[in-house]
Chains A and B, each alone.
Chain A
Amino acid sequence: MAHSMLQQGWRMARRDWRGGELQVVALALLVAVTAVTAVGFFTDRVRGAMLEQAAELLAADRVVQRSGEIPAIWLQQAEAVNLRHSITTLFRSVVLAGDALQLAEVKAVDSRYPLRGELRIADQRYGTERPIASGPPPGDVWLDPQLADRLQVAVEQQIELGELSLRVGAILRDEPDRGADLFTIAPRLLMHRDDLAASGLLGSGALRSERLLLAGEPAALARFDYWLQPQLDESSRLISGREARPELQQALERAERYLGLAALVSLLLAGIAIATSAHHYALRQRSNAALLRCLGVDSATIGQLYLLQIVLLALVTAALGGLLGYLAQWLLAAIIGDLFALSLPVPSLLPWFQGLLIGVVTVVGFALPPLWALRRIPPLQVLRQPSEQLPQAPWFPYLAAGTALFGLLLWQAGDLKLALQVAAGTLLTLLLLWLLAALLVALLGLLRRGTGISWRFGLLNIPRRAAASRLQIMALGSGIMVLLLLSLVRLDLLAHWRSTLPLDAPNHFLIDIRPTQVDALADLLAQRRGVDLPFYPMVRGRLERINSRPVSAADYRSPRAQRLVRREFNLSWSDGLLPGNRLLAGTFHGEDGGDGEVSWSLEQGLAESLAIELGDWLQFRIGDRHISGRVDSLREVDWDSFQVNFFVLTQPGVLEPEAASWITSLYLPPDQRSLLTELIRQFPNVTVIDVAAIMERVRMVIDRVILAVEFVFLFTLLAGITVLLAALQASHRQRQRELALLRSLGVRRRALRQLLLAEFLTLGGVAGGVAALVAALLGWLLATQLFGFDYRPNPLIVWVGIAIGSISSSLIGWWHTRRLLERPPLPLLRQDRQ
């Protein structure tokens, strides 16, 4: 029996396929699954590539940092699991060149360094740079420009390091993992590890840290991580790509969220397209179902047949869509391959299965209810003209589908809040679209007078098929709304990203400025750069106690929290909020008039990581002083801005000004870099950190994210067009009958074209206008609530929506109906009679 049912279902599917209706359902599903899986595969690869980018900031996939030597067994284990490895040794030492001496941050690397990314060197301090795959050979050192400036040495000259005299082989312009220690960086000297022993600098007791750099397959890295975790102690920590830099991490998170949102939208559009096509298909199946009932098929069998048919269709189409999605993303990768300096990793198969599941759930969820309702078609309908309505569809499959779809959204979003917002937003949006559509359809019904016959007929077609029109406006409106929303949010979000990294964003940090030098330095910069730069004091302190409980890294599970606790904080003071800071909770100290107590203001992420709440008491040790105070405010800090920012701020007067060093950031155009030489000569103790290269890399990552997002939108656009096609296809047959009838009654083609134009223009215009209003509302909500930036909808959007709706609806409508006007009416009438 089961076999016979399967056979019958398959036969029905095959025969109905020839009928054409299922082709529309399948097309919608195919595009949807292709879109979703292409997005899935592509985002899978982009995520991988972005992680690799992050890895470049570490010069490896993993770094294990340790105070002291890296144990030999770690290396053996890395080799055992087939990981490439390199060791770098870091310490500080005085470098001599003639009479000049300078403290430098020395990094000794082996020949395998770097495992990811590349070094950039030049032959002159500010000369043309070139990439190079490995560090200096034994006997050579590379100096960063500031160090070369301070030492007044050029390439080919000698410097002294410990007991060694080494040749300056090149000027070091950039090293991939420099970003990892942005604020602890001293002028860099890069040397080969083979020279370390002879330098005599690393005798017993010498302060140094070592880094084990690792690169290889994710599985091997995971195995190594698993092995290493129990061996880690207070002196060592494991760093993965994502922890390389907070601003990069923020960009990554934002990108994932945004790509996820784009994928969600494709998915939701797919649901709308499939629901529309399926409803139409079910309507077309009414007389067939009535005939089957009349021929003696029971309702359960009818239900099973349609279920089987739709599941078979979903499986075959979704599998094919997954395959197409896979091919589409390869094609995409091929097109943009040269733009991506990194090759994208091979995607996992997960998105294919995801697509299959999404396809089946979406089709069964959205196509089954109207088809299931066919079980209850009265057989009597076979003797009558079928009504325009289906019997009441059961609600539980919609609920089940909605729940399943929400599960899928959650899976894609990876964030309950976002998934809830999108789901609630979608439901509200659809409801709003439907209500507005119903209102406008009703209003059009009043247009019984005036205008020409074509326009009147065309316009009246809309209220005459009120249920279908509402559905079409809602579906079409959803597509347009999403497209508008995406382009709006996209443009605004990209503008926001770009605006946080403007071309004149600070590209140099000046640190280690003595309090007595601040005024003179400020004068120099004001005079030479014409800007008044803000200078901030900075005092290093270690967090000792939270609410009188001693703080230990062992209290925290997250690596970030452990790292924060082990490190010294850069504390500062200020009367008010710094630029790029936003008060999230509490009162910024000083604003309440001050109650004599020490007040701390914490960055929100830091407070979250260390589980510190408003009102908690924190004690810092600064030198030999212990300072405790209350957390009075939490701030959000925009790390993307490259402005000077602090995790912890207090009010003036708490920290000793004489213990502070000062910091500022400035933008220096490439042609004014010589100012640095002058600055260093005048203020030799000041350390200049050139963040231009780091910023360039971050900017590149962001640009790639944008590129990825734009490609994701291509598929969303395709999904939107499918909704439009599905909506128009839904009324195709009825239109065909009416046009054939009108033509047989003698209405001329030109008048019919006007009629169609009137209908499509109005339908599209209404859908577009409604969509624009809703998109503006949602765009504002998303911008302010989700992405946290100001957004004012442009009033032009309504006209853009109407234009997009009218034009796209008319074009696709024309494309759909052009053959109807070319063929003689009789075959159309006869075809319709079937």
Chain B
Amino acid sequence: MPVIVARQLSRRLATPEGPITILERIDLTINRGETVAVVGVSGAGKSTLLALLAGLDQATAGEVTLAGQPLTPLSEDQRAALRAKLLGFVFQNFQLLPHLTALENVMLPLELAALEAPATEAQRLLHRVGLAERLHHYPAQLSGGEQQRVALARAFAGNPALLLADEPTGNLDTTTGQRVIELLFELNREQGTTLLLVTHDELLARRCRRVLELDGGQLREL
């Protein structure tokens, strides 16, 4: 059963020099449990595609269906509700709230979803990513790798159906990046999450079952 279906998806931007096309009539289907990497050079539109598929941005044309729900007729708030139910995110720049501890950052989506015992679940996840000793540290007190592991724990909190990762190793050195990748795929396996990641890290892309390349606004399977 497909988790994401994109049909004839286009995204154009108006610029002072005239409109530019970032994505041109893209068709894409991702099934439950799949791991998919989107690769491409900088500026190819990878992050834009991710944003459109997550309902963070609106397409100029075409349609995205998320777990059977078309996004176009939904308001921003309805799309937000869908994200809260289905999606987890990992960002290149971690996007941890600076004034929250590691534990509180992981608790946040659980609290927002009004789940029972958010602290217990958050602690379990932080244990799982190897940060049992860092529960009460603030992001500024953590290394880049540790911050991204907190972000992973947060992304998997609430057991989302689909995990979207935008250059998850982009800000990390190779060794640390490698560890984060291992962790990402382990959690993915354990929780049976569908994974869509955007990267130009070939090692990372190769770990995915499918690799798609974005070039000139077009998507092709490698």
Report A's interface with B, CB cutoff 8 A.
4, 8, 11, 15-16, 18-20, 287-288, 291-300, 378-380, 382-383, 827, 830-831, 833-834
Contacting A at CB under 8 A, from B46-87, are 47, 50-51, 54, 56-57, 76-77, 80-85, 87
Q: How far is the CA of A16 from the CA of B114 in the complex (A)?
A: 20
> A298 and B80 in contact (CB under 8 A), knowing A16-B99, A834-B98?
yes
12 additional A-B pairs beyond A8-B111, A292-B112, A833-B93, beta carbons within 8 Å, are A4-B114, A11-B111, A15-B97, A15-B99, A288-B97, A293-B76, A295-B84, A295-B108, A379-B80, A379-B83, A380-B51, A382-B56
Of A16, A295, A299, A378, the contact of B112 (CB 8 Å cutoff): A295
> A379 and B56 in contact (CB under 8 A), knowing A831-B140, A834-B98?
yes
Q: How far is the CA of A380 from the CA of B58 in the complex (A)?
A: 10
| Chain B positions within 8 Å of A15 at CB level | 97, 99-100, 104
> A291 and B97 in contact (CB under 8 A), knowing A378-B57, A383-B47, A383-B56?
yes
> A296 and B83 in contact (CB under 8 A), knowing A287-B95, A833-B93, A834-B98?
yes
> A383 and B111 in contact (CB under 8 A), knowing A287-B95, A295-B83?
no
Q: Smallest CB-CB separation from B55: which chain A residue?
A: A379
Check A295–B109 contact: CB distance below 8 A: yes
Q: How far is the CA of A827 from the CA of B98 in the complex (A)?
A: 13
Q: How far is the CA of A15 from the CA of B96 in the complex (A)?
A: 13
**Most chain A beta-carbon contacts within 10 A, residue among B77, B91, B139:** B77
Check B56–A294 contact: CB distance below 8 A: yes
Q: Mark B159-173, 1 if CB is under 8 A from A, else 0.
A: 000000010000000
Q: How far is the CA of A379 from the CA of B51 in the complex (A)?
A: 9
Of A296, A298, A300, the contact of B87 (CB 8 Å cutoff): A296
Interface residues on B, range: 20 to 34
> In the complex, what's the smallest C-beta–C-beta distance from B47 to chain A, in angstroms?
5
Top-8 shortest CB links A-B:
A296-B84, A19-B99, A834-B98, A298-B77, A296-B83, A379-B56, A380-B56, A380-B57
Determine if B89 is an interface residue (Cβ-Cβ < 8 Å).
yes
Q: How far is the CA of A345 from the CA of B140 in the complex (A)?
A: 53
| Chain A positions within 8 Å of B109 at CB level | 295-296
Q: How far is the CA of A690 from the CA of B139 in the complex (A)?
A: 79
Check A383–B50 contact: CB distance below 8 A: yes
Check B93–A300 contact: CB distance below 8 A: no
Q: How far is the CA of A292 from the CA of B109 in the complex (A)?
A: 9
| Chain A positions within 8 Å of B89 at CB level | 294-295, 382
Report B's interface with A, CB cutoff 8 A.
47, 50-51, 54, 56-57, 76-77, 80-85, 87, 89, 91, 93, 95-100, 104, 108-109, 111-114, 139-140, 166
Show 13 A/B contacts (Cβ-Cβ < 8 Å), sorted by A. Answer: A8-B111, A11-B111, A15-B99, A294-B89, A296-B81, A296-B85, A299-B76, A299-B80, A378-B57, A380-B51, A383-B50, A383-B56, A834-B96
Check A830–B87 contact: CB distance below 8 A: no
Q: How far is the CA of A18 from the CA of B141 in the complex (A)?
A: 15
> In the complex, what's the smallest C-beta–C-beta distance from B38 to chain A, in angstroms?
14
Q: How far is the CA of A297 from the CA of B113 in the complex (A)?
A: 9
Q: How far is the CA of A116 from the CA of B57 in the complex (A)?
A: 77
Q: How far is the CA of A830 from the CA of B166 in the complex (A)?
A: 20
> In the complex, what's the smallest C-beta–C-beta distance from B79 to chain A, in angstroms?
8
Check B140–A834 contact: CB distance below 8 A: yes
Q: Smallest CB-CB separation from B89: which chain A residue?
A: A294
Q: Smallest CB-CB separation from A4: which chain B residue?
A: B114
Check A296–B112 contact: CB distance below 8 A: yes
> In the complex, what's the smallest C-beta–C-beta distance from A492 to chain B, in angstroms?
49
Q: How far is the CA of A378 from the CA of B80 in the complex (A)?
A: 11
Q: How far is the CA of A827 from the CA of B141 in the complex (A)?
A: 9
Check B82–A296 contact: CB distance below 8 A: yes
Q: Smallest CB-CB separation from B78: which chain A residue?
A: A298
Check A18–B91 contact: CB distance below 8 A: no
Q: Smallest CB-CB separation from A295: which chain B residue?
A: B109
| Chain A positions within 8 Å of B87 at CB level | 296
Q: How far is the CA of A296 from the CA of B79 in the complex (A)?
A: 8
> In the complex, what's the smallest C-beta–C-beta distance from A7 to chain B, in angstroms?
9
> In the complex, what's the smallest C-beta–C-beta distance from A203 to chain B, in angstroms?
90
| Chain A positions within 8 Å of B81 at CB level | 296, 298
Check B100–A294 contact: CB distance below 8 A: no
Q: How far is the CA of A20 from the CA of B99 in the complex (A)?
A: 8
| Chain A positions within 8 Å of B139 at CB level | 834
Q: How far is the CA of A833 from the CA of B96 in the complex (A)?
A: 10
Q: How far is the CA of A834 from the CA of B102 in the complex (A)?
A: 13
| Chain A positions within 8 Å of B91 at CB level | 382-383
| Chain B positions within 8 Å of A19 at CB level | 98-99
| Chain B positions within 8 Å of A830 at CB level | 140
> In the complex, what's the smallest C-beta–C-beta distance from A830 to chain B, in angstroms?
6
Q: How far is the CA of A291 from the CA of B93 in the complex (A)?
A: 12
Q: How far is the CA of A624 from the CA of B91 in the complex (A)?
A: 102
| Chain B positions within 8 Å of A11 at CB level | 111
Q: How far is the CA of A19 from the CA of B112 in the complex (A)?
A: 20
Of A18, A20, A297, A380, the contact of B80 (CB 8 Å cutoff): A297
Check A299–B77 contact: CB distance below 8 A: yes
> In the complex, what's the smallest C-beta–C-beta distance from A424 to chain B, in angstroms?
40
> In the complex, what's the smallest C-beta–C-beta distance from B152 to chain A, in angstroms?
15
Q: How far is the CA of A294 from the CA of B98 in the complex (A)?
A: 17
Q: How far is the CA of A299 from the CA of B77 in the complex (A)?
A: 6
> In the complex, what's the smallest C-beta–C-beta distance from B106 to chain A, in angstroms?
12
Q: How far is the CA of A16 from the CA of B91 in the complex (A)?
A: 22
**Most chain B beta-carbon contacts within 10 A, residue among A11, A20, A294, A300:** A294
> In the complex, what's the smallest C-beta–C-beta distance from A338 to chain B, in angstroms?
49
**Most chain B beta-carbon contacts within 10 A, residue among A11, A287, A380:** A380
| Chain A positions within 8 Å of B104 at CB level | 15
> In the complex, what's the smallest C-beta–C-beta distance from B9 to chain A, in angstroms?
15
Q: How far is the CA of A26 from the CA of B100 in the complex (A)?
A: 19
**Most chain B beta-carbon contacts within 10 A, residue among A16, A287, A296, A830:** A296
Q: How far is the CA of A378 from the CA of B111 in the complex (A)?
A: 22
| Chain B positions within 8 Å of A294 at CB level | 54, 56, 83, 89
| Chain B positions within 8 Å of A291 at CB level | 95, 97
Of A16, A295, A300, A383, the contact of B77 (CB 8 Å cutoff): A300
Q: How far is the CA of A294 from the CA of B104 in the complex (A)?
A: 17
Q: How far is the CA of A11 from the CA of B111 in the complex (A)?
A: 11
Of A16, A18, A297, A299, the contact of B84 (CB 8 Å cutoff): A297
> A293 and B57 in contact (CB under 8 A), knowing A380-B51, A382-B91, A383-B50?
no
| Chain A positions within 8 Å of B111 at CB level | 8, 11
Q: How far is the CA of A15 from the CA of B101 in the complex (A)?
A: 9
> In the complex, what's the smallest C-beta–C-beta distance from A423 to chain B, in angstroms?
37
Q: How far is the CA of A295 from the CA of B50 in the complex (A)?
A: 15
Q: How far is the CA of A287 from the CA of B97 in the complex (A)?
A: 9
| Chain B positions within 8 Å of A831 at CB level | 98, 140
Q: How far is the CA of A546 from the CA of B96 in the complex (A)?
A: 82
| Chain A positions within 8 Å of B77 at CB level | 298-300
Check B80–A293 contact: CB distance below 8 A: yes
Q: Smallest CB-CB separation from B104: which chain A residue?
A: A15
Q: How far is the CA of A291 from the CA of B84 in the complex (A)?
A: 11
| Chain A positions within 8 Å of B84 at CB level | 295-297
| Chain A positions within 8 Å of B114 at CB level | 4
| Chain A positions within 8 Å of B93 at CB level | 833
Q: How far is the CA of A299 from the CA of B99 in the complex (A)?
A: 22
Q: How far is the CA of A292 from the CA of B98 in the complex (A)?
A: 13
Of B82, B85, B95, B112, the contact of A382 (CB 8 Å cutoff): B95
| Chain A positions within 8 Å of B99 at CB level | 15-16, 18-20
Q: How far is the CA of A297 from the CA of B114 in the complex (A)?
A: 12
Q: How far is the CA of A827 from the CA of B139 in the complex (A)?
A: 12
> In the complex, what's the smallest C-beta–C-beta distance from A675 to chain B, in angstroms?
80
**Most chain B beta-carbon contacts within 10 A, residue among A20, A300, A378, A827:** A378
| Chain A positions within 8 Å of B112 at CB level | 292, 295-297
> In the complex, what's the smallest C-beta–C-beta distance from A552 to chain B, in angstroms?
72
Q: How far is the CA of A382 from the CA of B80 in the complex (A)?
A: 14
> In the complex, what's the smallest C-beta–C-beta distance from B132 to chain A, in angstroms?
22
> In the complex, what's the smallest C-beta–C-beta distance from A455 to chain B, in angstroms?
33
| Chain B positions within 8 Å of A297 at CB level | 80, 84, 112
